[in-house]
Each structure stands twice: as structure tokens, then as C-alpha cells.
Chain A
Amino acid sequence: MPILEVTNVTKEFGGLTANKDITLSVQEGSITAVIGPNGAGKTTFFNLVTGVYQPTSGEILVEGKSVVGLKPDEVAKRGISRTFQNIRLFGEMTVIENVLVGMHKHLKTGLLGILLNLPSTRHEEIEAEKEAYRLLEYFDLAELLNEKAKNLSYGAQRKLEIARALATKPKLILLDEPAAGMNPKETKELTDIIKKMGEEFGVSILLIEHDMKLVMEISEHIYVLDHGEKIAEGNPDDIRTNPKVIEAYLGSGAVQLGQRSETNANTTVE
């Protein structure tokens, strides 16, 4: 069953068509990737799904229900969470507070509960803190819990963004270039985390990534965008050998080259 179904979605910015007639679906429990050259419209697509932008036309269904017209926080309440290509942490807040903000929508206490510090409020808060700490442990960030988020290393910030997104207990998580700016060792760690994260947190994953090794290793299904259009989809092997994809990435001259080397190794798109 698909958790996300996007049909014929188009987004125009004035004269520019950033997403054109895109149809895509994410199966529950799967890891799906969206790839494509810079400016292909991948981030725009994420922004459409999460309610940051509204589509010019088309339909977006989460668990069969439309999320078109909803505000980002309402989409989040439908069980979609995300990370950002240009990291958007709450820089002046501590690491654990960042994760706690992710839990915000699950905290039920009201104004009076806060003011009187009722037992239920306290209990809920302590439970949230413990859960936040466990998430930090999972991402190896536990000893940094009282650091300001802005003081973290780049790789740690990327991980914290994922931890924060998971704190919302999403059904679907969108990762926008999670490995960007990471060194090979960090990327390897991240690959492992993403691979097992889906099962452990019961979350389906849709990710944008330029690191082809990572994409090919973990994705079950891949969509390729170019100039706002979907030019291919399929499993990693289909995509690796698809001439349109090679052309999009390397220019038309590369297709023949790609087809030739394909017989040697299946890593042309790297």
C-alpha cells in the first residue's frame, strides 16, 4: 500500500516550471529515492509534499487523503516529517531541545497545566526528555545534549536534523541530501543508520541524494527528475543503465560511453 501518492503535480514559479506533471508513489515501509542534477526540482517537490508550497495543479495523497491546501504544520500532523538541504536547526537551542521541539505535537498539556506544573504535565515532560535522549543515543549525539545546535559539526548537525524529524513520530520521512557535506566515513555511518532506521522507527523513507553509492545501496525504488520532469523510474539496476539518466547527468555525449562501460561495471552514474 502506498503511503504517499502524488499524481500529475505541477508547480510553476512565474514563467518557470519547477515541477512538471510528476507522478510518484512511496510504498509503506520502503526506501525510495529522488535523484537528478542540481536545479531539477527535487527540493521543490519536497516543499510541495510538506505544504511549504502549494501545487499549481495535481493531487497529493497521504494514506489516501489529500494534503493539498494544508499548512506545513497540518501536513506534519498527518505524519510527514523532513530534513532540509540547507540545514535548518534551531541554532540557539540545545541539541536535546531541538529534539524536544520535534515532540511538540505529541505533548498534550495546556496553559493551565504548564502554569500549575500539574503532575500530568511533569510526567509527560519527563517521558519526552527520556525519549529525546534515547533518540540522541541512537544517533550518537547523546553526550552533546546540552550543546547549542549551531556549535555542532556539520555531520552532527545533519544527524540531529534526522533525529528531530523522527521525534515527530512520522509515518513518512523526507530527507533532503542527508549526506551532503559529509566525509566518506560519516556517509558510511549515515547509510547504515538510514538503512535500519526505517524498520526500527516504523517509518517509510523518501530521500534526495547525490551520493550515488548511498542511493544505489539503500533504495528500493528510484525516481529521476530533470528540468522539473520525471525522466525515469525503477529499481537501482534499471536506473543505472537507463540512457536518459546517464544523459541527464553527463550530457548527451556520455550515453554511448555509459553503454560501453556498463558491460564492464555497473557503476556508471557514480
Chain B
Amino acid sequence: MKKYIHDFQIIANRRINTEYFVLSLANEKKLPEIKPGQFVQVRVDNAPNTFLRRPISVYDVNYEKNILYLLIQVVGEGTRTLSELKNGEKLNLIYPLGNSFSLPDSEKALLIGGGVGVAPLMFLGRWLTEQKKEPVFLLGFRNSELQVDIDRFRKLGEVYISTDDGGAGEKGLVTQHPVLHNDTLDISMVYACGPDVMMKAVALWAEKKNISCEASLENTMACGFGACLCCAQETVQGILLVCTDGPVFNTKELIWQI
């Protein structure tokens, strides 16, 4: 897929809670096709200690209005600087980058996200509904305050929640959620995005259940388009690049480094 470098304009910066915000980005040029699971490389201006671009998943795309959405968690200087962007300001992106999630055989698919790992699942869920599939979301957050856009996820499919403190949904880790332990869930595919420990736990669960599992990895990146070889991932096929061969991998392929 052809990659572009474009200046986008911020048309909204929506604060969701103390940690998360969503940027709505518009571009005069028509958006190219973007696939669920793909990411963008954001240039962070006016942040003296943020030298490299920051990889951020595509949270959603509205082709009609030509708008790209990014869900971002503030973790350091780069993301904090992005959180302070105002309407009308410019944001330079390289996109669309990476591979994408694949279509499940079954009607239903389970989409498991932890924290900011829910980001690629909105766009994936929308795409699945367009493909006449039924996404079922299982979303995990540290507490109820940190939940993200649950209403919007609900518009796409069933939503189950886990929080560490039990403030919303079930208490505990996503992998402890009862929905994973009732056998009525008829799925052939689970998608996972979140902390490595979570994805690994989901992969193990999927393996036991004989369900295919795709995980989206977040190895640190310098370029994001295959030029630096910094984002290496050990796989059964040898070293692959998370930015071009991934970020989505079938977990059977992965040799986990945790």
C-alpha cells in the first residue's frame, strides 16, 4: 500500500478522562484506503525531548467526512504534547503503516483490549460489521474512570467490561472474565491488543480453546516503515518487523519475549 506524508488539521481534541483523549484529524486530500490494525507515525512538534515520531493506531476512519481518529493515552512528553493540540493546529502523519487484522471464518469474533489497546478495536469492529460479522468486545481498564467510549463500542456489538478494582463490569483481568469461560461463545477468532502480559494470556486461552488469535504488538519503533530494523520481533519464521510484517501477528507465529 502506498504510504503518504500529509499535514492534517485538528478539528477536535476530545478529552475522555484523565489519561485518554481522541484527536479528530481532517485532510483536504481524500483519505486513501486504511485497514483495521494499521497505524500512523505522528510527528510531535514543539516537544524538545521527543525526537522520533510516535506510532499510534488508527482508532476510526470516517471516509464520508474524510476524518481520521486517534485514541491516545498520555504517558510521556510526546503524548502530553499531542493532548494539548488545539483546533486548527497541524499534525504531520506518515500513513497508513503496517498490515491489518484478517477476517474470521465464524460469524462472531471476540475483540479483547486492555487500556489504550482498545484503540485499534473500534475500527476493526466497524469493519467486521461491514463484513456482516458480529464483533463481541471484552475491554479491560484499571478502573471505571478510565473506560473509553463504551457507548460507541456498544453501537457495533456486545460489550463486556473488566476493571482491576471491579468499579465497572467484572473485577479482575480480562482473561478472568466469565465470557471467556462460558462455552456458548461460538467464535473462531479472537483479536487482542494491550499489554504484552494480557496478549500472552489471551493467546494461551485461545490455544487451549483451539481458536485462532491475532495480536497487535507495540515494539518500539524508530521509522515505522521498514528502514531501520529496530522493531524486530522473534517469530517462528525468524526475525520479522513489527512495522511492516506486523503490527498484527497470529500468536502461533510469535516467540514471546516476556
Question: Is B a genuine binding partner of A?
Answer: no
Interface residues of B (CB under 8 A from A): none
